[in-house]
Amino acid sequence: MKKKIVLIGMMGSGKTTIGRILSKILKFDLIDTDLLIEKSCKKKISQIFNEHGEKFFRNKEEKIILDILMNTKKPCVIALGGGAFLNKELQKVILKDTISIWLDTSIELIHKRCKKSNQRPLLHESNGKNLKKIIKDLLKIRKPIYSKAKFVVKASDTPINVCNKILTYIKDLI
Ligand code: S3P
């Protein structure tokens, strides 16, 4: 039986919201990996990117998530930062030891949710590239990787409906 549920997907796909509801229903702990990174660095994600660069962030992200995957014994729902599943080592452990779920969301919804956020350094418009194009380009690279998750849930529905869909998929596994 697997007791870790890992929510995977793009920024704005609803991992934190779904994670919150799902963990409550299942009475599992909720772990938000970005929050843990912020706590460990005592800085916001955008500040970490600005002051130390993406490579530093990715190293920190790998270390913190591996630690959770190896050492957390209590059942938990893990809301994973949008880029973490691209890391091969993390991907291997997540696919082996957890129930992984990709929250597959439309470009339009991601755009709507992220356009007001200034906390997502990878979505800053630059070099004339607008937000929709940035999201589209990231998704093109990431979709084939996200799709390796054990389950895919179309996540453009209401959060409670998305959670119910997830629960029907995982009911025999937890
Ligand atoms: C990132 C997603 C962010 C955060 C960082 C990088 C990404 O997390 O980890 O800004 O590469 O997609 P959310 O998916 O929770 O926004």
- Residue 82 CA, ligand 1 centroid: distance in Å: 4
The average pLDDT across 164-173 equals: 94
* Residue 103 pLDDT level (bands cut at 50, 70, 90): very high
Task: Encode burial over 8-45: b for 16+ CB neighbours within 10 A, e otherwise.
Answer: bbbbbbbbebbbbbbbeebebebbbbbebbbeebeeeb
Percent of the chain topping pLDDT 90: 90
Distance (Å) from CA 3 to ligand 1 centroid? 24
Is the pLDDT reported for residue 128 higher than 80? no
Using most ligand atoms within 8 A of CB, pick from 36, 45, 46, 117 the residue to mutate for ligand 1: 45
Average pLDDT of every residue of the chain:
95
pLDDT (tens digit per residue) in 30-44? 999 999 999 999 999
| Tokens 């729902």 sit on residue | 77
Q: What is the mean pLDDT of residues 116-125?
A: 86
